[in-house]
Chains A and B, each alone.
Chain A
Amino acid sequence: MSDDLILKVENLQTQFDLGRRVVKAVNGVSFHVKKGKTLGVVGESGCGKSVTAHSILQLLPKHGKITGGSITYYSDDGEIVLSRLPKNGSAMRAIRGKEISMIFQDPMSSLNPVYTIGYQISENLLQHEKISKKEAMERTVEMLTSLGIPMASSRVRDYPHQFSGGMKQRAMIAMAMVCNPKLLIADEPTTALDVTIQAQILELMKEVQKKYGTSIILITHNMGIVADMADDVAVMYMGRIVEFGTVRQVLGSPQHPYTKALLKSVPVLGVGKNERLETIRGSTPDPSDLPPGCEFAPRCDFADDQCKTVPPDVDLGGGHRVKCWKCKGGLLT
């Protein structure tokens, strides 16, 4: 079973200790990523999807801490339990950028404005591989060319402000891909971009995946992108995965009330123009003061007293699981 896995996360808990209050940003999350496949993680802002990603690479800020669970990375040389490695130790640093790398949400602010694009990309290579600066720069140019940057050999000397938004995101992808990582974590890679540029970047990520066999964790809030890119989907709400399954299971026959509502609340091009959108009443709760039991219960139409205790993971078969009391034993109508 674990042969075809690249990453397994079990019961991950990440907290932020803010002095007076503790925010449980990730509250018992389990999922796995298959080799060469894409896992889509969807949810609204504040649901813990980015914190999950940052936990994997241990990029949490000072007051953030993994308090439970395990993250296992299956490298070519065997299993590595990432959550047990010291945060800034050499073992963790050897993995960051080399084995697992990350594309951040905002290309405008994730690039250092005072270094050239070429320097920032080749820095990663020089860190992980024993090659000369000249070789590193050559490989950087090669990478940028393959990502569709025209005249890459001169553009590597440019500074980030000389690049457009789409090109900056390409540079970010180049930086993440230049060491040929096994797993790429893309945290809202296209949220800051226009739709036509978004289409370019998504196509590019598909190509990269095909060429290098990279596994991808794609974090997004857009169900359309998930349908387009992902093989498996995890839907998150307030620090928990409420539904997990293949893209066909989750989007085709969503079971959790939150997933259902989320899918119905977005207008879809060319469908149901004169119908009212279904809304989810209220707004997301304060993460430091979550309701007891199921976090979605106060906004859920099906909730009753049972929902005041934490619901179990209900296995619906074929890897499709739902965290809901109401789905137990039968399908929710």
Chain B
Amino acid sequence: MTDTRNADDVLLEVKNLKKYYPVYKGLFKKVVGHVKAVDDVSLFVRRGETLGLVGESGCGKSTLGRCIVRLQPPTSGDIRYRDADGDMRSILSLGKKESFDMRKKIQIVFQDPYSSLNPVKTIYESFDEPLRVHGMGNKAQRKETIARLLEAVNLRPDYMYRYPHEFSGGQRQRICIARALCIRPELIVCDEPVSALDVSIQAQVLNLMKDLQRQMNLTYIFIAHDLSVVEYMSDRIAVMYLGQVVELASADSLYASPRHPYTEALLSAVPVPDLDRKKERIVLKGDVPSPIDPPKGCRFHPRCAKCQDICRVEEPKLRKVAGTEDHYVACHLVDTVPMAEEGTQP
């Protein structure tokens, strides 16, 4: 991973992405407001890296992931992806044929391995469908591909004739990962892939994902609420709060010197199984406000201990922290590079 921002490395770019869900009320279903699930998010993902997305429930991390895979059409903003010629192209305005090809490159692994496999199809059938749809080989070749993929996730090839209910949770999640890999994608969005698993199984899946990334040069967007897991998996981490990215930095830098008060609180709230590492826990007051009517100014200000007058009025923009290479933060109280300079925003 290079530290400097090399333009050729960037595989995916999200620009000012917004996703609003309308809220209806009354007999005539009048629109009375919007749930601002994702509100003006900009970030980029480099080829071969893992970008972690963390935040509490309802912060919009899954919605952002779904927008990137285009399971949800964004309200506004742009998502650009590097095509075969090396140019960045918007993936939201593609034609039918191009769109079809693009879906081959970006795949998703869902949180719940119990509900994301079709219970009435064998593993072979579940895998064969995308391969057939995308015209990847004849029947014998497809079967060989499936066998190879199952081996890659440490399952026996003859398991392909079994049904999902015959597998344990950890095995099912490995099957889901193998299925996402079957049409050889470049980018995989992993939406809470280990949250539903027991700790001893979680480690197996995390190790496997790291191995596969190395072997196949995959790029991951790793969404999770568990900070220790995200920190372990990711090269860079974006911390989200109420639909916005409040801090974006390399995993080491984020852990060693969190700049945003929310990141600080989040890091301190994670219980660590080490008795000698007593640390001051910052307990945030209150709950996350409603994303229908987020607080004015900085969205975190009602819960922030360092809140100043400016925080209540002006919304901070995500900007580069002064004196760092790759650390962005959206906070008035952090010394950031002025807006006028180039490359201050991700």
User: CB within 8 Å of B: which residues of A?
Assistant: 44-45, 164-167, 194-200, 202-203, 221-228, 247-248, 251-252, 261-263, 265-270, 273, 276-280, 283-284
Known: A195-B56, A227-B275. Contact between A44 and B200, CB under 8 A?
Answer: yes
Q: Complex: how many Å from CA A44 to CA B200?
A: 8
**Apart from A228-B271, A280-B200: 14 A-B pairs, beta carbons within 8 A:** A167-B287, A195-B269, A203-B281, A224-B271, A227-B271, A251-B273, A251-B274, A262-B199, A267-B229, A267-B232, A270-B255, A276-B210, A283-B170, A283-B200
B273 touches A196 (CB 8 A): no
A227 touches B232 (CB 8 A): no
Q: Complex: how many Å from CA A248 to CA B283?
A: 25
Known: A195-B56, A279-B203, A280-B200. Contact between A248 and B255, CB under 8 A?
Answer: no
B270 interface residue per 8 A CB criterion? yes
Known: A164-B287, A195-B270, A224-B273. Contact between A269 and B168, CB under 8 A?
Answer: no
Interface centre among B171, B269, B273, B275 (most CB of A within 10 A): B273
Q: Complex: how many Å from CA A226 to CA B287?
A: 24
Q: Complex: how many Å from CA A282 to CA B284?
A: 39
Q: Complex: how many Å from CA A164 to CA B203?
A: 32
Q: Complex: how many Å from CA A224 to CA B170?
A: 22
Inter-chain contacts of B206 with A (CB < 8 A): 267, 277
**Chain A, residue nearest B208 (CB):** A279
Instruction: Report which of B168, B204, B269 forms a contact with A279, defined as CB distance below 8 A.
Output: B204
From residue B266, how far is it (CB to closest CB) to chain A in Å?
6
Q: Complex: how many Å from CA A198 to CA B270?
A: 9
Inter-chain contacts of B283 with A (CB < 8 A): 196, 199-200, 203
B270 touches A269 (CB 8 A): yes
Inter-chain contacts of A273 with B (CB < 8 A): 231-232, 251-252
Q: Complex: how many Å from CA A252 to CA B269?
A: 21
Task: Give the secondary structure class of B's interface.
Answer: helix
What is the total of A-B residue contacts with beta carbons within 8 Å?
A: 117
B93 interface residue per 8 A CB criterion? no
From residue A274, how far is it (CB to closest CB) to chain B in Å?
9
A265 touches B227 (CB 8 A): no
Inter-chain contacts of A198 with B (CB < 8 A): 269, 271
Interface pairs A-B: 5 shortest CB-CB: A224-B271, A267-B232, A223-B273, A265-B203, A194-B56
A269 touches B202 (CB 8 A): no
A269 touches B284 (CB 8 A): no
Q: B179-232: which residues lie under 8 A (CB-CB) from chain A? A: 198-204, 206-207, 210, 225, 227-229, 231-232
B272 interface residue per 8 A CB criterion? yes
User: CB within 8 Å of A: which residues of B?
Assistant: 56-57, 168, 170-171, 198-204, 206-207, 210, 225, 227-229, 231-233, 251-252, 255-256, 265-275, 281, 283-284, 287-288
Inter-chain contacts of B229 with A (CB < 8 A): 267
Known: A196-B284, A199-B284, A277-B207. Contact between A268 and B269, CB under 8 A?
Answer: no
**Chain B, residue nearest A277 (CB):** B203
Inter-chain contacts of B284 with A (CB < 8 A): 196, 199-200
Inter-chain contacts of B287 with A (CB < 8 A): 164, 166-167, 197
Inter-chain contacts of A222 with B (CB < 8 A): 271
Q: Complex: how many Å from CA A267 to CA B270?
A: 12
From residue A122, how far is it (CB to closest CB) to chain B in Å?
24
A279 touches B275 (CB 8 A): no
A277 touches B271 (CB 8 A): no
A248 touches B275 (CB 8 A): yes
From residue A310, how far is it (CB to closest CB) to chain B in Å?
22
Q: Complex: how many Å from CA A333 to CA B45?
A: 43
Inter-chain contacts of B275 with A (CB < 8 A): 227, 247-248, 251-252
**Chain B, residue nearest A197 (CB):** B287
Instruction: Report which of B57, B251, B255, B268 forms a contact with A194, defined as CB distance below 8 A.
Output: B57
A225 touches B271 (CB 8 A): yes
B274 touches A268 (CB 8 A): yes
Known: A203-B281, A203-B283, A265-B200. Contact between A196 and B227, CB under 8 A?
Answer: no
Inter-chain contacts of A228 with B (CB < 8 A): 271
Q: Complex: how many Å from CA A225 to CA B288?
A: 22
B267 touches A269 (CB 8 A): yes
Q: Can you list 14 A-B pairs, Cβ within 8 angstroms, ordered by A?
A: A166-B287, A167-B287, A194-B288, A195-B225, A195-B266, A196-B265, A221-B198, A222-B271, A228-B271, A261-B200, A267-B231, A268-B272, A269-B227, A270-B256
Known: A45-B198, A221-B199, A262-B200. Contact between A267 and B228, CB under 8 A?
Answer: yes
From residue A154, how far is it (CB to closest CB) to chain B in Å?
17
Q: Complex: how many Å from CA A41 to CA B171?
A: 27
Known: A222-B271, A228-B271, A269-B255. Contact between A279 and B231, CB under 8 A?
Answer: no
A279 touches B271 (CB 8 A): no
Inter-chain contacts of B168 with A (CB < 8 A): 283
From residue B199, how far is it (CB to closest CB) to chain A in Å?
5
From residue B277, how far is it (CB to closest CB) to chain A in Å?
9
**Chain A, residue nearest B267 (CB):** A269
B57 touches A278 (CB 8 A): no
Q: Complex: how many Å from CA A261 to CA B256?
A: 27
**Chain B, residue nearest A280 (CB):** B200
Inter-chain contacts of B200 with A (CB < 8 A): 44, 261-262, 265, 279-280, 283-284
Interface centre among B198, B228, B266 (most CB of A within 10 A): B198
Instruction: Report which of B203, B227, B252 forms a contact with A195, defined as CB distance below 8 A.
Output: B227
Instruction: Report which of A164, A252, A262, A277 forms a contact with B232, defined as CB distance below 8 A.
Output: A277
Interface centre among A224, A225, A279 (most CB of B within 10 A): A279
Known: A44-B198, A279-B204. Contact between A227 and B273, CB under 8 A?
Answer: yes
From residue B193, how far is it (CB to closest CB) to chain A in Å?
14
**Chain B, residue nearest A275 (CB):** B232
Inter-chain contacts of B252 with A (CB < 8 A): 273
Inter-chain contacts of B231 with A (CB < 8 A): 267, 269-270, 273
Known: A44-B199, A203-B281, A280-B200. Contact between A194 and B271, CB under 8 A?
Answer: no
